[in-house]
Amino acid sequence: MQIDNPTLLGGTSTASLDIAVETITYAGTMAVDAATSNKKYIVLTGNSTISNPTNPVNGRMLMFRLRQDATGSRTITWGSNYRFRGDLILANIVLSTTPAMIDRIAFEYDVTDDRWDAVSFLRVS
């Protein structure tokens, strides 16, 4: 959805709001394009790496919805531009192991450091 009313945005530029969830097909290494949608859905059918997103924009949010397959216990390795700090250190980001469970993790892009900072994690089980 395109928002063209600057007064709604508190400024004078046009901004877009992504409302569609993009499905990323499972692979050993999964490519992420921050320009196609800010919501990503992945069914984990094996352990995988989620690569550094292309087309980053300062302040851009990316939310991943990660569903375990019928086997469960799948793990993710994050690309080098994902950053985990504070309460969201990587050791605290442990995905659910139960089959079919969904976890959510969100990141915000920091152009100064060229990093996607983890800003929230919701573990379902």
Region 89-112 average pLDDT: 96
Give residue 17's pLDDT: 54
Q: Are 46 and 72 in contact (CB under 8 A)?
A: no
Identity of the residue numbered 94: V
Residues 87, 56: Cα–Cα separation, whole Å: 24
SS3 19: coil
List, for residues 22-79, the tens digit of each pLDDT value. 999 999 999 999 999 999 999 999 999 999 999 999 999 999 999 999 999 999 999 9
Per-residue pLDDT band for 125 (boundaries 50, 70, 90) equals low
For the record, the structure tokens of 22 come out as 């993009």
Residue 84 CA, chain-centre distance (Å), reads 13
Residue 32 and residue 24 in contact, taking contact as beta carbons nearer than 8 Å: yes
Q: Is the pLDDT of residue 81 over 60?
A: yes
Cα angle 59, 79, 42 (rounded to 5 degrees) comes to 85
Domain assignment of residue 8, yes or no: no
Phi, psi of 72 (to 5 degrees): 80, -175
Indicate the number of domains in the chain: 1
What is the span of the domain harbouring residue 111? Answer: 20-122
